[in-house]
Structure 1
Amino acid sequence: MQIAYHARDLPEAHIIAGLLRANGIDSHVGGHYLQGALGEIGAAGFTNVHVDDDDYLEARRLIAEYEGAATNNGDRIPSGNDSGEFYARWFLLLVLAVALGFALAF
């Protein structure tokens, strides 16, 4: 199996998986248990949509069509501006700084 799509979150991954299944391509959404690793913060980038090797090229074609249609309609935030991932990184940096402060204090 190959990763056909790196989703920002579970709903997006399941939308893509549904699109692929509707077009006759079996898919699997991975990363369900990684979403809660940061508690209530919307962790991003842990969910992937997997397809069989034989279906990879067709899946990428369908996904490209979907992304093109979503971008043309203005429905989707461009992938380069992922604020969820930005805040998750700053939160992890803050947690690391607090933990380091406690370690040095004691």
Structure 2
Amino acid sequence: MCGMQTVYHARSLIDAQLVKDALEGAGIPAFIAGHYLTGGIGQLPACDLLAVQVPAAAWPAARALIHDIDARERAAAAADAPASGLPVGRPA
């Protein structure tokens, strides 16, 4: 495998940036694909424009990290506790 793999589909640019920052904080290089397309909202379909991508070799670690963050967010929401704000979209 080579190239970049999508690890997360974001709902907004802020959502994508938070996930990218979390990945990079864990030492995983990340890229936001589609961020230039957000300027075309109204002329383009407003869904699935943004994705966070990582190198194929880092995909398993990135996916595990995102699922861990998602599980913590769901637990915080279930407990009605303040959440960190990560992530809002959906893992790939």
TM range (shorter): 0.7 to 0.9
How many percent of aligned residue pairs carry the same amino acid?
A: 32
1:74-93 maps to which residues of 2 (within 5 A)?
74=77, 75=83
- Structure with greater strand percent: 2
- Structure with greater helix percent: 1
1:1-106 maps to which residues of 2 (within 5 A)?
1-39=4-42, 43-74=46-77, 75=83
**Secondary structure at the counterpart of residue 29 of structure 1:** strand
Q: Distance in 2 between matches of 1:79 and 1:53?
A: 21
Unaligned runs of 5+ in 2: 78-82
Matching residue's letter, 1:66: I
Gap change, CA 1:54 and 1:46, over 3 Å in 2:
same
TM-score, with structure 2 as normaliser: 0.73
Which of these two proteins has the greater Rg computed from alpha carbons?
A: 1
Deviation for aligned residue 1:15: 0.5
Unaligned runs of 5+ in 1: 81-106
Q: Which runs of 4+ in 1 moved over 3 A?
A: none
Aligned residues: 77
The answer to whether the 8 Å contact 1:9/1:45 transfers is: no
**Secondary structure at the counterpart of residue 28 of structure 2:** coil
